[in-house]
Every structure is written in C-alpha cells, then in structure tokens.
Copies of this chain bind each other. A is one copy, B any other.
Amino acid sequence: MHRFSKKVSMTVVKRLPKYYQYLTDLLLNDIEKISSKELASLMGLTASQIRQDLNSFGGYGQQGYGYNVLELREAIKEILGLDSDYTCIIIGSGNMGHAIANYERFKREGVMLIGAFDVDPLRVGTVVGNVVVKHMDELEGFVKNHDIDICILCVPRGVGQQVAKTVTDLGIKGILNFSPLDLDVPDDVVVENVNITDSLFTLTYLLKEVTDPE
C-alpha cells in the first residue's frame, strides 16, 4: 500500500467528483461495501479502470472483500480537498450568479459564499444567496480583508478577462469560470471552466449523429 502518489493525470482527476457522488449515494442507501466490479457497472466504467484510479492514491480496498463505502468516500473527500472549508465570492449577480448562489450543495461541502459583486447599480444592494450584492468598487477592499479562496465568475464574455486579472492580482487562486471564454491567468492560479455554449454545440453535433440517416 503506497501512500504517496506519482502525478495524477487530469483524466483521473475529472473522474474523482463522480466517484465521490456515487459513493455518497451508496452511503445514503446504507450500502456498506462495494467491489470494483459493482461500482464499475454503476458508473459505466470498467473494474480495471476503477482499481487503477483508486490505486494512484493508495490502497483503499481489501482483497476478497472490495471497498468499504464509508472509508473510500472519506478518502476521496479528502483527496478532493473537501475536508477543508473554502470562502468564495460571486462576481456578476445575474441569473447565473443567482443560480450558483442557491446551490445548497456548495455550502454543504464547505464552500461558503461570503460576498457578491456587480457593476450594475440596479443589482447592488439586492440579495443573492445569503449575501448582499456590493459594487465592484468595493471588491478590492473586501478581498484584502477576507482571504478568499474561490471566485465564481459569472460576468459577460466581454469583461471576463479583465475581471479575471483583477481577482488574480488580488491573490485569489481559484476561479470557477462561467463566462464563455478561456481565461489567461498566472501559473499558480487554477481555473475550471463551465462553458455552456460549448456544451450546447457538442450536443447539436451529437444530435446530428443520432438523428441523421448517414
């Protein structure tokens, strides 16, 4: 059982949240143990893949038995960094900002919304999630006083890069980016893109594939 992982590939990382979700569901259904084979059929992966994936982090299973759901879930929770709490702010309090602010799951996993910002005077002062929207002018002061881990970016495409520069200059290291553009950020900043336009276009492509006679 090796403790320390060689560099884990992005392919594996992207599957971790799925493992976490499925294990959480199993736990809620009082399932105590699961084999790589069972989990594979549940998740649409192969048993080999699962054993390879999990073993890149450590030996969480037991020969002849399988994996203990509770233990494995805890391990993946920790790997995902969900044993810590995070502070976050939302920039852009339009519908997308509101949608995200109301995701109960974020808070439940320790990601706390503590601020929201917008340039639109009509939105400043309104409530999003459980915070009052402040004007962007107050961003700098706020970030300097609060040690923010994550910025959830929900601004229009046209201003996305500029806002990203502002927040990274202020020292924020993580961006969950809903603005439909690729951000240029320093090396020590991580960005996770949620590009809805790209998803729609992937769908229209696939739709052609299943619909057309070809």
Contact = CB atoms under 8 A, between A and B. Distances in A.
Interface of A: 13-14, 16-18, 20-21, 43-44, 79-82, 84, 86, 94-96, 98-100, 102-103, 105-106, 109, 111, 149-150, 173-176, 180, 182, 188-190, 192-211
A57 to B, nearest CB: 11
A204 B81 contact: yes
Contact of A98 (B95, B204, B208): B95
A3 B129 CA distance: 52
Nearest to A203: B192
B204 A199 contact: no
Contact of A200 (B95, B192, B207): B192
Contact of A202 (B14, B84, B204): B14
Given A17-B197, A194-B196, A199-B194, A173 B205 contact: no
Contacts of A150: 203-204, 207
Contact of A203 (B43, B44, B174, B196): B174
Contacts of A198: 14, 17-18, 21
B199 A176 contact: yes
Contacts of A95: 95-96, 98-99, 102
Given A17-B198, A174-B203, A208 B103 contact: no
Given A174-B207, A189-B210, A190-B207, A201 B99 contact: no
A197 B94 contact: no
Contact of A81 (B17, B44, B196, B205): B205
